């Protein structure tokens, strides 16, 4: 009996233990399921939303947004952004370079991370629009064809809409914010210089500061730093820098529309504009020093410091000073006089009616021998070909000569040159389009890394015409002028039509005359002022010599200084990118047909032509041409 009771008890114990085990197993399974569900939910939340909420049941720690420490990435962006800017402005001198493009792209990716961390948003929400835009811009080259957009936009929309749907609209803001790095990417590549060229902004003041002295990625990094004491100080410094830099007069804006530019176009525009902007002291630094030294006279102090630094920079790099033709002091006097002349700004715009300008372009083919090898005991030389494409729509009889040489930078910053022989040496162009291959052979064996410089000198036949419109109203009553001058301005001189126009060729003349250079309405009895400048359009080229003629027809008899209408000269060798100021003159009267003969009712418009005949040198530099010597 006792044994049976014991057996029963042990059986019951076993049953209880089994039940307990089963219950435990169930509990474990339930906990595991809950954990898995929480993990999935947490993962989803991490991808789509901001910091997810803690799970309602206890046990597991709430998921935290740990991807970004909030400091490392933005700080890297600041430091590398500053380095990138310094390289761009001081080392590469504004010229486009593959390395700069790659570093800008890397900073672009970093900026996405920094932005996500700063705003505590998910990477995906911010990265999506960045990715879609870059695919459209780089893979599809910014295609705006309606047929293509009809497919691309719905697909892109669906991709962007999906997170919106899943997060119930919470990802809308991050997706929009994701376009900020795209904007900064374009700004760094050269969006502002491109806009300045397209809309003919006068590149002075605020525009110059934004183009030259603004480290865009560093700024982006500063404002994505987390809220810590020293990071806030950096932000304040950033704001102060912007205030000191940008407190300058604004410029007038142009009106033309433009198409979407590619990377190359942006970089080229940046290079061209940076070449034209004279280097001087950092404006923020000038302003800061003046605030300390002359707090009651900041503006005048600032202007003087800028002028002095500009002149110093020009004369330090002046060829005539280097060769001893001019002393430094003489150069300074010459530049001060030139700056005074530059107060007479003669502006011009591109002639939109001339859609095919004369131009020349060097193109490096894919088969260019960028890297070659030779044995040490051999004196073999490689021939380096490059294509020259010449557009000559007006079929001018052009004659060109070619030359080339190889530049090598030594370890002690000295430069050595190896001359080359270019073939053909000369070329005559008559047709509308000419393509030819130029070959450069070094005159001696090369060893190392060189920059190959091709130069095409157009020595004969090159001409560019400019035109300027004016309205002659004769002698009219005040009420006629009050009524008709606004009408004439609106009809004949909308936007910048009062400026002279020229095609975007190698160089051109800007000219203007009137009561003021900007006023296109010519009245009987006014004294008229005439001024003209020759401008070089391309930083990779230079004007060698020029002849100019301003055809004012019957007005030519009324100028006090005939030298302002025609003359010739050679361009200053020191700075080929600056304008050449031609003599000015005064017109004291008008011929009767442009004056009193117009009576009480009539007015007429007239276009005047200026012709620049010049010799021009076009240069092409091909960097990193390597010849490696192999020991036999």
Partner 1 sequence: MKLLPVVLVLFLLMALVACSSGPGDRLLQYNFKQGFNGLQFRLVENAPPQEVYPHADFTIIVELDNQAAYDVRDVWVRLLGFDEQYFLLYPPEQVVDDLAGRSLTAPGGDKRFVEFEGTSQELFPGAEEYVADYFIKVQYDSEMEFSDTLCVNPQLYAVYDAGCQVEEKRYNGQGAPLAITELEEVISSGTGVEFRLLLENKGRGKVKTATVGRARLGNDPLECEFSASGVDKRKQVFRAEEQEATVLCRKAFVGGQNSYTTTISVEFQYEYELVEQKELALVK
Where along the sequence are the contacts to partner 1 (CB under 8 A)?
351, 353-357, 393-394, 465, 467, 469, 471, 479, 482-483, 487-488, 491-492, 503, 601-607, 609
Q: Give the DSSP letter of residue 59.
A: S
Q: Which residues pair with 510 in a beta bridge?
A: 533
CB of 203 vs partner 1, minimal distance in Å: 26
* Residue nearer to partner 1 on the CB measure, 178 or 474: 474
* Residue nearer to partner 1 on the CB measure, 154 or 397: 397
**Residue 608 token pair:** 């005047």
* Residue nearer to partner 1 on the CB measure, 4 or 353: 353
CB of 214 vs partner 1, minimal distance in Å: 38
Collapsed DSSP state (helix, strand, coil) of residue 364: coil
CB of 255 vs partner 1, minimal distance in Å: 16
Neighbours of 6 (CB within 10 A): 10
Sequential DSSP letters for 21-54: HHHHHHHHHHHHHHHHHHHHHHHHHHHHSSSPPP
CA distance 242 to 206: 10
Instruction: Report the residue count for the chain.
Output: 632
* Residue nearer to partner 1 on the CB measure, 61 or 355: 355
CA distance 115 to 125: 11
* Residue nearer to partner 1 on the CB measure, 97 or 492: 492
CB of 607 vs partner 1, minimal distance in Å: 5
Q: Find all residues with CB under 8 Å of 142, minimum gap 6, and list them.
A: 136, 260, 262
* Residue nearer to partner 1 on the CB measure, 312 or 606: 606
CB of 601 vs partner 1, minimal distance in Å: 6
* Residue nearer to partner 1 on the CB measure, 5 or 600: 600
CB of 491 vs partner 1, minimal distance in Å: 4
* Residue nearer to partner 1 on the CB measure, 88 or 470: 470
Place of tokens 């900026």: 111
Sequential DSSP letters for 70-103: SSHHHHHHHHHHHHHHHIIIIISTT---HHHHHH
Alpha carbon 407 to its chain's center: 27
Instruction: Return the closest-CA partner of residue 394 out of 467, 457, 462.
Output: 462
* Residue nearer to partner 1 on the CB measure, 340 or 477: 477
Pairing of strands 348-350, 528-536: unpaired
Side-chain-side CA neighbours of 422 within 13 Å: the count stands at: 22
In this structure, are residues 202 and 251 in contact, taking their beta carbons and an 8 Å threshold? yes
* Residue nearer to partner 1 on the CB measure, 185 or 548: 548
Sequential DSSP letters for 228-263: -HHHHHHHHHHHHHHHHHH-S----------PPP-H
* Residue nearer to partner 1 on the CB measure, 71 or 488: 488
Prior bond of 424 cis (ω within 30°): yes
CB of 566 vs partner 1, minimal distance in Å: 18
CB of 459 vs partner 1, minimal distance in Å: 21
Whole-Å CA distances, 340 to 195, 309, 313, 348? 28, 15, 17, 20
Backbone angles phi, psi at 282, to 5 degrees: -55, 125
């Amino acid at each position: 009996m006792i044994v049976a009771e014991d057996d029963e008890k042990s059986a019951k114990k076993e049953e209880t233990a089994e039940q307990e085990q089963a219950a435990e197993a169930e509990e474990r399974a339930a906990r595991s399921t809950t954990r898995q569900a929480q993990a999935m939910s947490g993962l989803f939340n991490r991808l789509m939303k901001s910091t997810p909420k803690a799970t309602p049941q206890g046990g597991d720690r709430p998921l935290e947004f740990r991807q970004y420490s909030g400091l490392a990435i933005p700080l890297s962006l600041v430091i590398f952004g500053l380095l990138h800017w310094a390289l761009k402005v001081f080392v590469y001198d504004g010229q486009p370079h593959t390395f700069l493009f790659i570093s800008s792209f890397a900073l672009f990716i970093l900026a996405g991370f920094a932005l996500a961390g700063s705003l505590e948003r998910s990477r995906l929400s911010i990265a999506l629009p960045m990715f879609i835009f870059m695919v459209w811009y780089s893979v599809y080259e910014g295609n705006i064809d309606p047929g293509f957009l009809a497919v691309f936009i719905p697909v892109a929309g669906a991709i962007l809409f999906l997170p919106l749907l899943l997060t119930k609209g919470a990802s809308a803001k991050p997706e929009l914010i994701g376009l900020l790095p795209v904007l900064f990417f374009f700004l760094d590549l050269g969006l502002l210089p491109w806009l300045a060229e397209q809309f003919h902004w006068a590149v002075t003041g605020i525009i110059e500061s934004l183009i030259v002295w603004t480290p865009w990625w560093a700024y982006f990094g500063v404002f994505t730093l987390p809220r810590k004491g020293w990071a806030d100080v950096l932000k304040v410094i950033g704001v102060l820098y912007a205030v000191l830099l940008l407190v300058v007069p604004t410029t007038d804006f142009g009106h033309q529309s433009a198409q979407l530019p590619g990377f190359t176009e942006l970089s080229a525009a940046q290079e061209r504009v940076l070449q034209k902007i004279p280097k001087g002291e950092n404006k923020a630094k000038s302003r800061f020093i003046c605030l300390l030294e002359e707090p009651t006279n900041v503006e005048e102090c600032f202007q003087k410091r800028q002028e002095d630094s500009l002149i110093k920079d020009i004369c330090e790099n002046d060829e005539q000073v280097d060769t001893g033709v001019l002393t430094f002091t003489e150069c300074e006097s010459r530049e001060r006089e030139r700056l005074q002349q530059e107060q007479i700004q003669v502006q011009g715009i591109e002639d939109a009616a001339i859609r095919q300008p004369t131009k020349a372009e060097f193109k490096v083919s894919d088969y260019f021998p960028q890297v070659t090898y030779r044995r040490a005991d051999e004196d073999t030389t490689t021939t380096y070909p490059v294509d020259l494409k010449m557009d000559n729509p007006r079929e001018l009889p052009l004659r060109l000569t070619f030359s080339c040489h190889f530049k090598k930078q030594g370890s002690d910053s000295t430069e050595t040159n190896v001359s080359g022989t270019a073939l053909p040496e000369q070329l005559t162009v008559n047709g509308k389009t000419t393509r030819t291959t130029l070959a450069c052979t070094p005159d001696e064996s090369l060893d190392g890394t060189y920059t190959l410089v091709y130069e095409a000198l157009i020595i004969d036949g090159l001409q560019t015409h400019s035109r300027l419109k004016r309205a002659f109203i004769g002698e009219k009553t005040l009420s006629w002028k009050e009524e008709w001058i606004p009408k004439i301005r609106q009809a004949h001189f909308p936007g910048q039509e009062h400026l002279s126009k020229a095609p975007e060729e190698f160089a051109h003349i800007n000219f203007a005359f009137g009561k003021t250079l900007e006023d296109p309405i010519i009245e009987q009895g006014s004294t008229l002022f005439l001024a003209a400048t020759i401008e070089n359009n391309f930083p990779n080229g230079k004007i060698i010599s020029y002849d100019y003629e301003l055809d004012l027809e019957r007005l030519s008899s009324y100028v006090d200084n005939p030298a302002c209408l025609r003359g010739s000269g050679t361009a200053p060798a020191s700075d080929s990118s600056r304008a050449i100021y031609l003599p000015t003159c005064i017109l004291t009267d008008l011929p009767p047909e442009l004056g009193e003969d117009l009576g009480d009712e009539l007015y007429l418009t007239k276009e005047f032509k200026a012709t620049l005949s010049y010799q021009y040198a076009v240069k092409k530099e091909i960097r990193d041409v390597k010849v490696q010597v192999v020991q036999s």
